[in-house]
Amino acid sequence: MTSVPFNRPVVRLRPKAEARAIRHGFPWVYSDELVLDRRTGALEPGTLATLEDAERRAMGLVTVNPASRIVARMLDRDAGAALDSAWFTKRLTQALALRERLYPDPYYRLVHAEADGFPGIVIDRFGDTAVIQPNAAWAEQHLDTLVAALCAVTGVTNVVKNGTGRARGLEGLPEETVILRGDVTGPVPVPMNGAVYMADLLGGQKTGLFYDQRDNHAFAARLAKGGRVLDVFSHVGGFALAALAAGAQSALAVDGSEPALVLAEAGAKAMGASDRFQTRQSDAFEALEAMGAEGQTFDLVVCDPPAFAPHRKALDAGLRAYERIARLAAPLVAPGGSLVLCSCSHAADLTQFRAACTRGIGKGRRQGQLIHTGFAGPDHPMLPQLAESGYLKALAYRLDA
């Protein structure tokens, strides 16, 4: 351990705070666990500080935001670490090494926040372009150093800052999307699972594409060969295009966003599957109800909604929404067909989500087998001490005849 800089502020845990959990790898300190005296409360959001336990023993280097419920985030277990170019380069090099071992092409999540040692930072790579989501105050302050190291380590020439989303609001950060380096014009084609996706890196959801579903796309596509597919909450064609690439007879993508469906159509065209692909712009619940009333059925139905339970206060309402989705979707599955239901809600754990889906299928007057449980791909590693980093769940059911 290097010596602690003499001019770095010190923040201290309360006597009853969970110091043991933090020592064992938990990366966050909540506002009720830290001594928030006048000095600490006056620190600028993003300030680097030494974290001490109640006995004044150094625990590591943290970034502090007194305005946030997560008042401190662990950056380094070495309290004397310097947040310089070498620090960023080392961690980015480690992150890149994992992804290059996993994927032959440079299309993946390069940095998955705390799990890659970058609290509150997400970086997705699209060939020679990277999109950064700096969702914590410290990331904004060190953005120039991060971008320089990112370009040096990966060789990307274009960098976009996507400063949108709920997480930035919780940190008191403004929303903005800007090009930090290079140039980005038009949607970027992304090859994945044999399909081609068109990612809008400047105006799309999140960073423009959801890499986390890659493995779940691939599994669902195996169920779709030769069949008719319905992909609800499709975004830019996630499950639908993967199914077409695997030999599905046809696919219908449903989403409320016209721009997303335009990108889905462009992806289908790029992979030569336009003649088997259709879109329907609609509220998902309304579309499911309408197709049920019409008596439509599909061999594979997939529902991949946004987070219905992004926080604990929304949990009950979110679980009811997942149950409703399952209830409306189940009757649309042809006898012996498959139903895939997904959740990206932090607050709803796997057991709760599975129970809600199973109840909904039953209320839809169907029964079946749970044949697969999927999670985010390995470019979205989970920090074992932080349950929130393992947010994605995908359940595949084979419904009765």
User: 258-268, pLDDT tens digit by residue?
Assistant: 999 999 999 99
pLDDT in tens, 148-164: 999 999 999 999 999 98
CATH number at residue 200: 3.40.50.150
Q: Assess whether 203 and 346 both reside in one domain.
A: yes
Domain boundary among 181, 213, 242: 181
pLDDT, one tens digit per residue, over 309-336 is 988 999 999 999 999 999 999 999 999 9
Residues 273, 143 within the same domain: no
pTM of the complete model: 0.94
Whether 344 sits among the annotated catalytic residues: the reply is: yes
Is residue 49 within 8 A of residue 43, CB to CB? The reply is yes
For residue 42, give the CATH number of its domain. 2.30.130.10
Question: Does 237 lie in the same domain as 158?
Answer: no
Residue 264 and residue 352 in one domain: yes
Percent of the chain scoring above 70 in pLDDT:
98
The pLDDT, as a whole number, for residue 4 is 62
Query: Domain containing 42: what range?
Result: 10-76
Task: Residue 369: name the closest of 342, 343, 394, 338 by CA.
Answer: 338
* Catalytic residue (choose from 303, 342, 344, 357): 344
The confidence score (pLDDT) of residue 3 equals 64
Whether residue 2 is contained in a domain is answered as: no
